[in-house]
Amino acid sequence: MQQGQRGSFQLMKSLNRSIILNKIRVDGPISRADIAKETTLSPPTVSNIVKELLTTELVVEISQGESSGGRKPTLLSINSNGFFLIGLDIGPKYLRSISTDLSGEILTSFIEPIPFPVTNEGLLDVVKQQINMILDVHQSDSKKLIGIGIGMHGVVKVDTGESLYAPSLQLRHIPLKMELESEFNTIVFVENDARVMALGEMWFGKRTQYNHSITVNIGRGIGAGVIIGGQLFHGEHFIAGEIGHMTIDIGGARCSCGNYGCLETVAAGPAIAERVKRELAMGTSSLITDMVGNDLDQIDGQLVYEAAKKGDTLCLEILKQTGRYIGIGLTNLIHIINPQQIVLAGGVSKAGHLILDSIIETIEQRVLTQAAKKTEIRLSEFADNATAIGAITLILEHLFSPTSMK
Report pTM: 0.85
Q: What is the 3-state secondary structure (H, E, C) of 199-265?
A: HHHHHHCCCCCCCCEEEEEECCCEEEEEEECCEEECCCCCCCCCHHHCECCCCCCECCCCCECECHH
Report residue 3's pLDDT band, with 50, 70 and 90 as the boundaries.
very low
Hey, is 138 helix, strand or coil? coil
For the chain, the first-to-last Cα distance in angstroms comes to 27
Asked if residue 258 has pLDDT above 60, the reply is yes
Report residue 406's pLDDT band, with 50, 70 and 90 as the boundaries.
very low
Strand arrangement, sheet containing 94-100:
106-113, 94-100, 84-90, 145-152, 187-192
Of residues 276 and 3, the one with the higher pLDDT is 276
- Nearest CA to 180 among 154, 139, 145, 206? 145
Asked if residue 36 has pLDDT above 90, the reply is yes
Asked if residue 327 has pLDDT above 90, the reply is yes
Contact criterion met (CB below 8 Å) for 137 and 78: no
- Nearest CA to 166 among 114, 216, 201? 114
Report residue 180's pLDDT band, with 50, 70 and 90 as the boundaries.
very high
Listing DSSP states for 53-97 in one string gives HHHHTSEEEEEE---SSSSPPEEEEE-GGG-EEEEEEE-SSEEEE
Contact criterion met (CB below 8 Å) for 212 and 229: yes
Instruction: Give the mean pLDDT of the chain.
Output: 90
What average pLDDT does range 248-270 have in this prediction? Answer: 93
What average pLDDT does range 272-278 have in this prediction? Answer: 95
**pLDDT tens digits, 228-245:** 998 899 888 888 999 999
Of residues 330 and 205, the one with the higher pLDDT is 330
- Tell me what pLDDT residue 400 has: 85
Looking at residue 111, the DSSP 8-state letter turns out to be E
- Tell me what pLDDT residue 8 has: 47
- Tell me what pLDDT residue 66 has: 67
Asked if residue 288 has pLDDT above 50, the reply is yes
Asked if residue 7 has pLDDT above 70, the reply is no
Asked if residue 77 has pLDDT above 90, the reply is yes
Asked if residue 15 has pLDDT above 50, the reply is yes
What average pLDDT does range 194-222 have in this prediction? Answer: 90
**pLDDT tens digits, 39-69:** 989 999 999 999 999 998 899 998 775 656 5
Rounded alpha-carbon distances, angstroms, from residue 49 to 43, 163, 171, 178, 344? 10, 36, 44, 31, 40
**pLDDT tens digits, 88-112:** 999 988 999 999 999 999 999 999 9
Structural domains of the chain, ranges and CATH numbers in brackets: 5-78 (1.10.10.10), 82-202+386-405 (3.30.420.40), 206-380 (3.30.420.40)
- Tell me what pLDDT residue 398 has: 85
Give the distance from CA 249 to its chain's centroid.
28
Report residue 75's pLDDT band, with 50, 70 and 90 as the boundaries.
very high
Asked if residue 405 has pLDDT above 50, the reply is no
Of residues 360 and 154, the one with the higher pLDDT is 360
Report residue 216's pLDDT band, with 50, 70 and 90 as the boundaries.
very high
